[in-house]
Amino acid sequence: MKKLLAMLLCILMVVSLVSCGGETETSTPTTSTENSTDTSETTSTDGKTVYKATVPEDFSWEGDFIILSTASDPSSVKYTEFGFNSSEEMEENVLNDAVITRNDIVETLLGVKIVEEMEACNNRSETGEFVSFVETAINSGTGDFDMVAPSLYQAGALAMNGQFYNLNEIENMSLQSEWWDEFFIDAVDVMGKLYFVTGDIGFIAKDSISAVFFNKDLAADLEIENPYQLVKDKKWTIDVIHTWAKMYNEDVDNNGSINHLDKFGIGGQNDNFKAFFFGAGEVFASLDNNKNPITSGYSERSAEVADRFQEFITDKTCFVRADDLFGVSNTPVNLLVDAFVEGRALMFWDALSNIEGMRAMDVDFGILPVPLYDENQDRYSSMLTPWPSNAFAIAGNVDPSQVKNVATVMNVLGAEGKNYITPAYVETTLKGQRLRDDDSEDMLDIIFDNIGCDIGYVYCFAGTAADILNNTASGQNFTTLYDSYKSTLETKMTTFVDVFEALE
């Protein structure tokens, strides 16, 4: 039944395009130029912009278009980016229905069958089992997948090992189109080589972004200043959030310390450090004007930023840290979500994906971006978290004669994702069903309008950068740590540059 409804939506969409203003149908093939802007827009009678990707005249594909993705437990995934297990009737929700609708439109247009194969992988780092699986499949010639959807950590490792095609050199890739993330391309297009992208083709990367949730009733009881106005005035800083957190705590279990069973100011984890460091405008690696990578993790200001966050995250009178609770649960973040839902935490800081667990919350909650370091900053910055975020690449096992056709399928998936999946995720799933006030919707716009990433995590410094911040979060001195890792960072950067120069 769900498949039939999706097909009907597909037919209605095509009919509506034909009936309004005589616009060319999505299925009309035209010839594209290499990596040109491939954005076509039409406006329907309801004022909605519809995006269309160019389908070259020589496009040809037979059979399945296989997308290889990963999850810790594929049998229990609740949301899918490309329809995994859709034939087995996954949970019906707006987001999954949008994915199925998008896939049906692409399949009808291109004559392909979109198939998502999901490999089990608990470790999404650059050393995780998914990296080995993909490499073995490609190098042995047994890989039969066309597109790969790894984490950002995994994407960087696979690219450096020569497992992906350089998207900059692929005809039909159309990287300037609006369904690809310009900020991401600018950040990871190193020395003219771009091996993976993010964009409207999927939604998990957006779901990985950190935000601060707050209990509106508790905030009112504490007579806290309007947080939304603070955000708009660029006064939402780490000092403010720390001050608020210290205003609410009670040792409910009478054990002499504040933990997840008590009432406390804020819950979070060490990964918040990455989000704040980036949100403060600091990165471990960046690109110079010639697109060459350079280290940029240490300065007088970055040390001040790190020291300030260490003071906050180690304040056990108000900050309950999930990393300290692995002896209680294998998923300690869920303990903090439970505390927030039960009204025992004023704030909770983690990924947007956690909103799903807050639907049962009796009281209203609001959402805020990652705080600024101080009021001298001119913008908020939202970091794609490299562990949960997915990127998209063309697998090295694809026959060279078919690479441009893979690029065409990716573009059509991206364009129709911008028509269906992104609105379903942002406008319907987040704003329409999960968030509870207009101000929080404005905050979500601020979060999504300021997304970025640190190539230090994506490529050369993944584990090292995380070690520096995690150890700082545990109380060690940032400057001392950075000095101890400095030679390692320099060696990894040199290796990174050498590898990239050698990549074909």
Q: What is the pLDDT of residue 37?
A: 53
Domain contains 247: yes
Please, what's the b/e burial string for 29-64 (b: 16 or more CB within 10 A of its CB; e: otherwise)?
Answer: eeebeebeebbbebeeeeeeebbbbbbbeebebeee
Separation in Å, CA 411 to CA 176, 416, 419, 487:
11, 9, 12, 41
Q: What is the pLDDT of residue 502?
A: 94
* Sheet strands (E) in 356-400: 365-368, 382-383, 393-394
Same domain, yes or no: 200 and 312: no
**CATH code of residue 363:** 3.40.190.10
Same domain, yes or no: 263 and 334: yes
Same domain, yes or no: 417 and 462: no
Same domain, yes or no: 411 and 475: no
Q: What is the pLDDT of residue 463?
A: 86
Q: What is the pLDDT of residue 27?
A: 31
Higher pLDDT, 489 or 359: 489
- Stated pTM of the model: 0.89
318-346 average pLDDT score: 96
Query: What values do phi and psi take at 120, rounded to 5?
Result: -70, 135
Same domain, yes or no: 284 and 321: yes
| Rounded Cα gap, residues 307 and 303, in angstroms | 6
Same domain, yes or no: 138 and 173: yes
Q: What is the pLDDT of residue 461?
A: 86
pLDDT 10s digits, 446-484: 999 999 999 999 998 888 999 999 999 999 999 999 999
pLDDT band at residue 77 using 50, 70 and 90 as cut-offs = confident
Same domain, yes or no: 336 and 477: yes
Domain contains 338: yes
Q: What is the pLDDT of residue 480?
A: 97
- Choosing from 433, 466, 491, the residue where a domain stops is 433
- Choosing from 433, 459, 493, the residue where a domain stops is 433
Q: What is the pLDDT of residue 26?
A: 35
Q: Above 70 in pLDDT, residue 25?
A: no
419-437 average pLDDT score: 86
pLDDT 10s digits, 363-413: 899 999 999 999 999 999 999 999 999 999 999 999 999 999 999 999 999
Domain contains 33: no
Domain contains 252: yes
Separation in Å, CA 192 to CA 185, 188, 213, 260, 412:
11, 9, 39, 48, 24
Computed over every residue of the chain, the mean pLDDT equals 89
Q: What is the pLDDT of residue 9?
A: 41
Q: Above 90 in pLDDT, residue 65?
A: yes
CA-based nearest residue to 33, from 190, 174, 210 = 174
Same domain, yes or no: 98 and 164: yes
pLDDT band at residue 269 using 50, 70 and 90 as cut-offs = very high
Same domain, yes or no: 271 and 419: no
State how many domains the chain has: 2
Specify the DSSP class assigned to residue 363: S
- Residue 152 · residue 455 · CB < 8 Å: no
Domain contains 24: no
Separation in Å, CA 76 to CA 80, 148, 314:
11, 20, 35
Same domain, yes or no: 175 and 214: no
Q: Which of 99-103, 212-216, 352-356, 498-502 has the lowest mean pLDDT?
A: 352-356
pLDDT band at residue 431 using 50, 70 and 90 as cut-offs = confident
CA-based nearest residue to 27, from 114, 106, 112 = 106
pLDDT 10s digits, 127-174: 989 999 999 999 999 999 999 999 999 999 999 999 999 999 998 999
Same domain, yes or no: 286 and 403: no
Same domain, yes or no: 178 and 321: no
Domain contains 1: no
210-218 average pLDDT score: 96
Work out the number of other CB atoms within 10 angstroms of the CB of residue 327: 7
Give the range of the structural domain holding residue 276, as residue numbers without chain letter: 210-383+446-502
| Rounded Cα gap, residues 471 and 477, in angstroms | 8
pLDDT band at residue 44 using 50, 70 and 90 as cut-offs = low
Domain contains 2: no
Please, what's the b/e burial string for 384-418 (b: 16 or more CB within 10 A of its CB; e: otherwise)?
Answer: bbbbbbbbbbbbbbbeeeebbbbbbbbbbbbbbbb
Domain contains 307: yes
Would you give the distance in Å from CA 27 to the centre of its chain? Answer: 30
